[in-house]
Amino acid sequence: MTTTEATPDARELMYLLAVSEALAQLMRADESVFLAGEDVGAAGGVFGTFSGLFDEFGQRRVIDTPISEQAIVGLGVGAAVSGLRPVVDIMFMDFVLVAMDQIANQAAKLRYMFGGQAKVPLTITTSAGAGLSAAAQHSQSLEALLCHVPGLKVVYPATPYDMKGLLVSCVRDDNPTIVIMNKMLLGAVGPVPEELYETPLGEARIARSGSDITIVAVGRMVDEALTAAATLAGEGVECEVIDPRTLQPFDTETVVGSVRRTNHALVVHEAVRFGGIGAEIAAQIQEEAFDYLDAAVARIGAPFCPVPFSPALEQLYVPDAARIAEGVRGVLGMNPVVA
């Protein structure tokens, strides 16, 4: 079943429980699906994301691995090309860097190098973002690095509904996929159907309709953008908020179509502003909708420094609804843009 939005009567479920429910249903339906990673077994993952899977499927299909990201992804690549559908977890996104050879040079390239004869149905899950005072080595948002690698598909669910639907789509895809979970969204609650369904890869979601400016927000920033939009509505400004859902491949058509209606654009993400995915999105808007723009495309992101450990500094580091609202006012000429 393919569904594009939750029905009004759908039951409520936490973001992190949407992960375990999706995997449990996939594993029941397909014996080739298994999970591997650090502490994913009896512990259920460092954030409880995989709770209950070990009890139901046992250690043969829910595998606790050594602390070696290279080995974890290498296991996944080998299993995938052998006909299985592995889901491997990298506990913190920061540690995908340890396994970039396996991710970028093996998983991403194998199908191309074998002329399409090899399939690599590997799904990598990982947790990104700041907000837990986990400091510089456990709080990064590195999605732009992954989106730069041809052969990878990268999704960033912003709601429990899309967490389940995008994960299902990724596991069923015959190409390597990366599912980024934001740590501050794990406790978020929203409507999630009980049945197994897919959120199509490469299709953005218009989270709020508006006529004055398009805000493209990634991951956790979707909620912040919606909060900013509600504030700005009281000032007579109607914001259209777009949640890309899939960062690679990116739904340029939906974003450009929105900008052509609103004539203004602001892109916001939690990652460092310089070289972030927002730069690519802004470039695509400029290339495809330049004649429709009444102002330059603006970007909001984190400053160019490591994520601070201090809760007070970390709060200043991560963009929020107030900064987004200020950014919108700047684009519309109400005050200078806050980057």
Catalytic residues, by residue number, are: 138
Q: DSSP letter string over 170-183?
A: HHHSSS-EEEEEEG
User: Measured between alpha carbons, how far is 317 from 139 in angstroms, rounded to an integer?
Assistant: 11
The verdict on whether omega for the bond into residue 249 sits within 30 degrees of 0, i.e. cis, is: yes
Closest CA to 128 of 162, 91, 89, 153: 91
Length of the chain: 339
DSSP 7: -
- Beta strand pairing status for 239-243 and 205-208? antiparallel
User: Measured between alpha carbons, how far is 300 from 315 in angstroms, rounded to an integer?
Assistant: 15
In which order are the strands placed within the sheet that holds 239-243? Answer: 205-208, 239-243, 213-217, 265-272, 298-302
User: Measured between alpha carbons, how far is 256 from 289 in angstroms, rounded to an integer?
Assistant: 6
User: Measured between alpha carbons, how far is 312 from 317 in angstroms, rounded to an integer?
Assistant: 9
